[in-house]
Amino acid sequence: MKRTKIFADANLTIGTIDPHLFGSFIEHLGRAVYEGIYEPGHPTADENGFRRDVIDLIRELRVPLVRYPGGNFLSGYNWRDGIGPRESRPVRLDLAWFSTETNEFGTDEFMKWCRIAGVEPMMAVNMGTGSVLDAARLVEYCNHAGGTTISDLRHENGAQEPYGVKYWCIGNEMDGPWQIGHLSAEEYGRKALEAAKVMRWSNGEMDGGNTNDRLRLIVSGSSNHEMETFPEWDRIVLENTYEAVDFLSMHRYYMYSAARPRPLEDFLGSADDMAEFIGTIRATIEYVRAKLRSDKRVRISFDEWNIWTVTAPRKEPIWKRAPHLLEDVYTFQDALVFAGLMNTLLNNCDIVRLACLAQLVNVIAPIMTQKGGGTFRQTSFFPFAYLSNNASGECVRTISDTDTFPALVVPKRGSENAPNRARIINEAITHDRTKREVCVSLLNYGQEANEVTLELRSFGSLSAKEYVEMTSGDLFAVNSFECERIVPHAKELPVLKDGSSCTLSLPPMSWSFLKFSY
């Protein structure tokens, strides 16, 4: 059997875990909104048409924040189409997803849904076809108390109190030629700076004043690290906007499918690949900070991440409301890669202060629904739920002697002759000093069982409280409306030697989660 040692010390912290690391995303795309979170007439729907069965699952996932309304949809969206009396809202072509948008659900419905679901809204303003003024007016609509035409419109639409939205994305994937109104880095950088300035002013922020209710602004970074413009895009955009914004966004989907075969090892190396990507963006932010002689720390908002199984490109538009789009059904193997991505986010929590699992319901999502029917939890649901419910406090550094395997980490940098390597045993260890708990998320990406010894120093005398494992003989096993086959199973709790060390036997291709208290 293979053996691995992992060492961690309570005094060696990476950073504090911001709960916003467990955010998610709902876009007007496919059945995410319609038949996902909103389905009037569904047996569980409340008086607003919000599906309560879906809200219950979102609570189980413990998502603190949800980004809205897009995504690519954003760049063709006029937010005014989605407010006011429903019968007078226009029906539009959605040119991002080639479907039809009825606008039955818009900003006010989203805000109400967030309140009922117990999540914080994270809004995005259109920088593709939208103007700086449209962006500012949306801030005014959401956050200004009243006495202006735009804020009084919100009152008329049923919301007396301002929504107080704090987190705002300035556009979406503006580096992508697929984006409606795609811009160059220089054009976008200039426009984003002006948008940031006027959005803040609309929020009542004077230069240097009013820090409490400050907007947290997120400028669009590279859509992924395979873009030709990466990382110049990020440098240029940041050089234009550094002092005006709080976050640079990152997006990345990891793909594995029969339609686009690639070596399994490359897919299993995704967690290390994501770490490389974050490392480059971290360096780019530091470079710009040094160049501008700034004291300010811009952070990363990893506001789209997930596994995305590439499906054959569509040949024709589906001009209808809520078509079945991007309804990936995740395999057990996907869940393993997914859990590794979560470990990477945790291990970079000093700079990644916000992240959004893309997406939340039906569209590349952990929750699936049937129109008029039930729901099921995808394989990926479980690592997310365990970590969002438990991984709080600080993330600590780990030292591991794990073996590695050849994987094409960071595709453009590696080559087939000299592949990079990824870790077989991948871990994240968190420490909550208030709850007096230590949590461990462990992956074995190897084809053999691995005996892992955890040496957890300076935490106090630990005892195991929970130990679950996800494993399956079938890497392609999936969950469905009929049966949730792939779920974590409870294991016998390990006994710790001297309150600090234990040895676990990790099956090949498995994810394990442990909780200790002291």
- The nearer residue to ligand AHR, 94 or 394, going by C-beta atoms, is 94
Cα–Cα dist 214/49, whole Å? 33
3-state DSSP of 458-477: CCCCCEEEEEEEEECCCCCC
> Is the Cβ of residue 248 or residue 442 nearer to ligand AHR in the bound state?
248
Based on CB atoms, which residue is closest to ligand AHR, 173 or 427? 173
Least distance to ligand AHR, CB of residue 479, Å: 21
Number of residues that bind ligand AHR (CB under 6 A): 9
Contacts of 510 (CB under 8 A, 6+ apart): 336, 443, 444, 469, 470, 471
**Residue 207, C-beta contacts closer than 8 angstroms, at least 6 positions apart:** none
Q: Cα–Cα distances in Å, from 336 out to 307, 331, 477, 486?
A: 10, 9, 12, 11
Q: Shortest gap between Cβ of 281 and ligand AHR (angstroms)?
A: 17
**What string marks each residue from 169 to 198 as x (binds ligand AHR by CB under 6 A) or -?**
---xx-------------------------
Nearest to 341 by CA among 14, 13, 21: 21
- Min dist CB 172 to ligand AHR, Å, is 5
Decide if residue 328 touches ligand AHR (CB under 6 A).
no
Q: Please give the helix or strand (H or E) that residue 168 lies within, else none.
A: strand 167-170
| Contacts (CB under 6 A) with ligand AHR, residues 42-71 | 70-71
* Residues 125-154 within binding reach of ligand AHR (CB under 6 A): none
- What count of other Cβ atoms lies within 10 Å of the Cβ of residue 230? 20
The 10 Å CB-count burial string (b at 16+, else e) for 268-290 is bbbbbbbbbbbebbbebbeebbe
Site track for ligand AHR across 267-306, x = CB under 6 A = -------------------------------------x--
Q: Closest CB to ligand AHR among 321 and 421? A: 321
Query: Which of 4, 8, 20, 27 contacts ligand AHR by CB under 6 A?
Result: 27
Closer of 238 and 325 to ligand AHR (Cβ): 325
Could you list the beta-strand ranges (E) of 51-152.
65-68, 92-94, 99-101, 120-125
Strands 420-423 and 167-170, by their bridges, are: unpaired
Query: Can you say how many angstroms the Cα of residue 317 is from the centroid of all Cα atoms in its chain?
Result: 28
CB nearer to ligand AHR: pick between 172 and 379:
172
**Least distance to ligand AHR from the beta carbon of 178, Å?**
7
Which positions from 332 through 371 interact with ligand AHR, judged by CB under 6 A?
Answer: 358-359
Per-residue interface string for the shown chain with ligand AHR, residues 71-90, x marking contact by CB under 6 A: xx------------------
CB of 173 vs ligand AHR, minimal distance in Å: 5
- Cβ within 8 Å of residue 293, ≥6 positions away: none
Rule CB under 6 A: is residue 117 a binding residue for ligand AHR? Answer: no
Select from 21, 54, 77, 65 the least CA-distant residue to 373.
54
Catalytic residues: 173, 304
Task: Please count the CA atoms within 13 angstroms of the CA of 460 that sit on its side-chain side.
Answer: 13
Where does this chain bind ligand AHR (CB under 6 A)? 27, 70-72, 172-173, 304, 358-359
